[in-house]
Structure 1
Amino acid sequence: MKLPSFLTREKRAATVGASDPYLAEFFGQRPGTPGYVAPDALLSNSAVAVRCVGLRSEMLASVGLHVFRRSADGGRDRADDLDLYSVLHDLMNPQMTAYEGREFLTRSLDLTGNAYGRIERDSRGQVTAIYPLMTGDVSPERLTNGRLRYRVAERQGGATVLLQEEVLHVRGPSRDGNVGVSAIQFGRGAMGLRVAQAETAQNLMQNGLRPSGVMAFAERIQAADRAKIRESVAERLQGPSNAGQLLIMDGGAKFERLSFSPEDAEFLASQKLSNEDVARLFGVPPTSVGITDKATYSNVEQEGRSLVQNCLGPLAARIEAALSRCLLTPDSRRSLYIEHDLSGLLRGDVQARFEAYRIGREIGVFSPNDVRRRENEPPIPNGDGYHQPSNWTPLGTVAVAP
């Protein structure tokens, strides 16, 4: 006899997706093995990666994030009467500003492919606070009914299980629909090469930029003497503080190099290519992270716009969709939506901006007060009127002779 569904016990799914970077260690991708790139290792060895993650999180957190309410005439108004508006715009929780919370979530998304936050609601079901969670402390579980639940490890021990409605989950591109995968894991080959290059450069500096070689003696020497000579040379020449010191050898000793210098191996050129690969994987234009080898006056301006349109735009849309899914109910999504204000990043210089205002004013798109609001200026009396050129007439009308 089959029991009713409400009497059966839900269990964890039989299979766990390997796309979770924090579960990758259980599938052979442990630190130090091929295919594994730890986010902290990448950040500590790549200034470009640090700037990419910082630029994306800081710029997206600096723009406005508003909750809008659709009006009957097709327009929209800011729903600043909701507690959710204050959570996303002012204070995410009593200990964290909205800027800090949004920056934390975006950094987690870039580094691990997932960003989590515990949602706090009042008795009416309205969102009153969001508490960001460390990605490594959260384990999503797919239940037999298709819903997700989240097991959160507590710092003092034990774990707390949160329902789907209690967690804000922003996921990156996913292989299984449960957890996201970061750009670091997708491009782990290129990212791992950058880490290996940084470690190689560090080893060269620690060895005083001295390549390995052979010290040859005309006569046979004992093993003990061989060890003493090796220790003496290492003590005098290895390390940045000993670089450039004079080496004096007697007894017919000759030193022969065995490896190429960094210049011969074009080591610096390969590092530049790896830096560009890191920026490319994060979708950040090279000039935005300080790679200015091919920068000109014109392409710097174009890449600044590309940063907003091709990098921050898709990232903002991903976060907006997750916020709407997790923070708004199905009924409220019919009239409310959440949107970043990226227009401030595309404003351009003063001359181009006011030229656009002039055109919009002449064709009736903007009123004087619309322009002043965009420039954060107070409205003026009788400044809400819209005009159009007097020679514009509707199609199909016949001009009447005076």
Structure 2
Amino acid sequence: MAFFKKRERAEPEQIPKENDCEDLLISTYLGRNNITREMAEEIPAIQGNLDLIVKTAANVPIRLYKKNGKRVEEIENDHRVSLLNEDTGDTLDAKEMKQAMFRDYFLGKGGYCYVNRDGLEIRSLHYVDQKNVGTAKDPDVIFKKYVILVQGKSYFPEDFIKLLRNTTDGAKGHSIIETNKTLISIMYNNMKYEETLVKTGGNKKGFIKSPRSLTQAALDSIKAAFKKLYQNNTENVVVLNNGLEFQESSNTSVEMQLNENKQTNSNECCKMLGIPSTMLSGGGNEEDDKKFIKYCVTNLLDEFMTAINKVLLLESEKGQYFFAPDMYELTKGDIDKRYNAYKTATDSGWLQVDEVRERENMEPLGMNMIKLGLQDVLYDPKTQMLYVPNTNQMHKLGEGGNGEGESK
């Protein structure tokens, strides 16, 4: 009877159980991912640029100078110079400490270094990872005050050397991840998208056409088979039964322009950090080197010098003493450039021969003479005596006289 007509069982609702992970770049535009420091450090362009900046800046020695009227003299035997260049008194040496601070400057809220004092004397310097540093600020937005918190203990701001990027309160800075979220997110997802293509063995994406509806069990079986197909370390064969047909999808614009996107993103990363793009590929020329040192390394070191002058100098020393980087080390690797600089300095009288030999770690010759011109007049600045080899005569500045071997 019609009342007892057999009822057909409805097919189970086909609910996708897995999210497709192949369109990571599209998800960047639909919903921005939260990029962490670890993610940013995985990007080769960022890691390579930061290595170049950080290691170059950390290798520059720091000197202490004193203003004496119009003259500036170097203070060589100060313990603070040794702490900044050699042994910090911590598990990290000076270069490792500076590299860690510079990385935190770019990738965290800032570089922090605790100054261990014994009265007025500085005993040691201790790098503190920025993730272990917190701040508690006074609500007054004009007369700003704050304390630094580390493992539940509070410290005064002057207890730390603070290297902060784009800070607005003097307590913490803003990393490149905060200020360039979209670019770094695109670069990271571009890399993950490429990883997905590699994991799938380069097999084309596509879809299955069927002349009739499939059960959930059949769908699950097909999904499992294609999942194995797209894995490099498994069999690459799928058998399609019952009239099923695989329809290959065309390449997306992202796939076709993957290499172009990578190059463009790498160039944008160089702009973000102020580095000529040719520096990263190894094709930089002398002009690129100058731009890198002037606009990138020098700016970072200037900020670092301001930070250490504020904390490491006594109040009675400020205005008279100052720390400064010895940029000579940046040209030490290029012997032709270095020797041409020495020639210019000695010809113009800025350096003496023994000063040049001292910079090259060579034994001095005891020649305290400065060439004044025509390569035939020698001047001793200590005795103010002039010697003219052509006439074999000595002259003292400001005096006159006659006689062989004397001024006249």
Which range, TM-score by smaller chain? 0.7 to 0.9
2:358–2:364 CA contact under 8 A, matched in 1: yes
In structure 1, the partner of 2:46 is: 49
Identity across matched positions, percent:
15
Which residue among 120, 127, 133 is the counterpart of 1:132? 127
Map residues 255-274 of structure 1 onto 2, 5 A cutoff: 255-260=246-251, 265-274=256-265
In structure 1, the partner of 2:306 is: 321
Which residue among 241, 244, 247 is the counterpart of 1:253? 244
Q: Deviations over 1:36-60 (max 9, x none)?
A: 431111112x111111222222111
Q: What is the deviation of 1:278?
A: 1.5
Worse overlay, 194-203 or 137-146? 137-146
In structure 1, the partner of 2:382 is: none
In structure 2, the partner of 1:151 is: 149
CA 1:342–1:242: 2 relative to 1, 3 Å: farther
In structure 2, the partner of 1:283 is: 274
Q: What is the deviation of 1:386?
A: 1.1
The answer on 1:74 being equivalent to 2:62 is: no
Q: What is the deviation of 1:242?
A: 4.3
In structure 2, the partner of 1:5 is: none
The answer on 1:225 being equivalent to 2:218 is: yes
2:144–2:169 CA contact under 8 A, matched in 1: no
CA 1:327–1:391: 2 relative to 1, 3 Å: closer
Q: What is the deviation of 1:347?
A: 4.9
Relative to the length of structure 1, the TM-score reads: 0.78
1:364–1:388 CA contact under 8 A, matched in 2: yes
Which residue among 115, 120, 124 is the counterpart of 2:116? 120
Q: Distance in 2 between matches of 1:139 and 1:330?
A: 27
1:175–1:181 CA contact under 8 A, matched in 2: no
In structure 1, the partner of 2:91 is: 95
Question: What letter matches 2:154 in structure 1?
Answer: V
In structure 2, the partner of 1:308 is: 293
Q: What is the deviation of 1:164?
A: 1.9
Q: How many residues align?
A: 346
Which residue among 176, 187, 190 is the counterpart of 1:194? 187
The answer on 1:108 being equivalent to 2:104 is: yes
3-state SS, counterpart of residue 233 of structure 2: helix
2:331–2:337 CA contact under 8 A, matched in 1: no
Relative to the length of structure 2, the TM-score reads: 0.77
Q: Deviations over 1:257-306 (max 9, x none)?
A: 2352577531121111111112221122223222x6xx4xxx52321222
Q: What is the deviation of 1:250?
A: 4.3
Question: What letter matches 1:91 in structure 2?
Answer: D
Q: CA RMSD in A?
A: 2.7
Q: What is the deviation of 1:391?
A: 9.9
Q: What is the deviation of 1:348?
A: 6.8
Question: What letter matches 1:239 in structure 2?
Answer: Q
Q: Distance in 2 between matches of 1:88 and 1:264?
A: 49
2:354–2:365 CA contact under 8 A, matched in 1: yes
Map residues 365-384 of structure 1 onto 2, 5 A cutoff: 365-381=350-366, 383-384=367-368
In structure 1, the partner of 2:178 is: 185
Larger Rg: 2
In structure 2, the partner of 1:238 is: 230
The answer on 1:389 being equivalent to 2:385 is: no
Q: Distance in 2 between matches of 1:362 and 1:230?
A: 79
Gaps of 5+ in 2: 1-29, 378-407
2:331–2:338 CA contact under 8 A, matched in 1: no
In structure 1, the partner of 2:153 is: 160
Q: Deviations over 1:378-400 (max 9, x none)?
A: 2112x22112115999xxxxxxx
1:262–1:268 CA contact under 8 A, matched in 2: no
1:93–1:131 CA contact under 8 A, matched in 2: yes
Q: Distance in 1 between matches of 2:215 and 2:145?
A: 72
3-state SS, counterpart of residue 376 of structure 1: coil
CA 1:33–1:333: 2 relative to 1, 3 Å: farther
1:113–1:183 CA contact under 8 A, matched in 2: no
2:90–2:126 CA contact under 8 A, matched in 1: no
Q: What is the deviation of 1:339?
A: 1.1
Q: Deviations over 1:7-48 (max 9, x none)?
A: xxxxxxxxxxxxxxxxxxxxxxxxx9737431111112x111
Q: Distance in 2 between matches of 1:146 and 1:273?
A: 42
CA 1:390–1:224: 2 relative to 1, 3 Å: closer
Question: What letter matches 1:140 in structure 2?
Answer: T
Question: What letter matches 2:59 in structure 1?
Answer: S
1:80–1:86 CA contact under 8 A, matched in 2: no
